[in-house]
Amino acid sequence: MTNLVLTRSWIFDMRTDLLHYSTCFTSLFLYVLITLTRQIKCQSMCSRESVEMVQRIADELRKVDNDCLLYTPTVEDYENCSRSTIKCFALELKVLFVEIQSVARLSEQLLRILKKLKYKDKMKSCPDCELYPGEKAKTFVETLQNILQRINAEKTCPPRKVQRHLENFMQKTLRT
């Protein structure tokens, strides 16, 4: 009888933990998804908040025990195949959030947005996402952050006052 009670309480604790993590990561995922797709669609867009969001994801990732491998393009891959590289990062972000028990509901919308990209890759045949090497989630997030920083360095970013409302929204979301 004691084992049954212990098992049920353990399951309850696990479910509450999963619910807590999924609510935290759902808002992060949706925000990153929006900023990444906005940055993909508008090539001239500069997005400091996307780099900050990836940093927050890295911070949250340290709190969770995770051993998943994600297809990770390099910075050199981005230079030649920017569209397919960003598309790969967006798809693998979805996998990352599933791996850390987060709920992602916008996969169909993401694929529709990615199909509408305006700019082209330098190479005619860029590799599929599955051909990139599998790396740990930490390396994946670091590489994504480096590429986003590189994108921002190539463009002129707007003043930070314009993005303050987004930062306030994300701080409120992370506190809850």
What are the boundaries of each domain within the chain?
18-155
Highest mean pLDDT among 51-65, 107-121, 129-143: 129-143
CA-CA-CA-CA torsion sign (37, 40, 46, 51): positive
Confidence of residue 43 (pLDDT cuts 50, 70, 90): very low
pLDDT band at 130 (very low <50, low <70, confident <90, very high): very high
Instruction: Share the mean pLDDT of the chain.
Output: 68
CATH architecture of 18-155: Up-down Bundle (1.20)
DSSP 8-state class, residue 44? T
Q: What is the pLDDT of residue 19?
A: 61
The amino acid occupying position 114 is L
One-letter amino acid at 60 equals: E
Strand, helix or coil at 157?
Answer: coil
Which range has highest mean pLDDT (33-47, 63-77, 97-111, 145-159)?
63-77
Quote the pTM value: 0.57
pLDDT at residue number 104: 41
Please report the pLDDT score of residue 39 as a whole number.
55
Structure tokens at 146: 């480096």
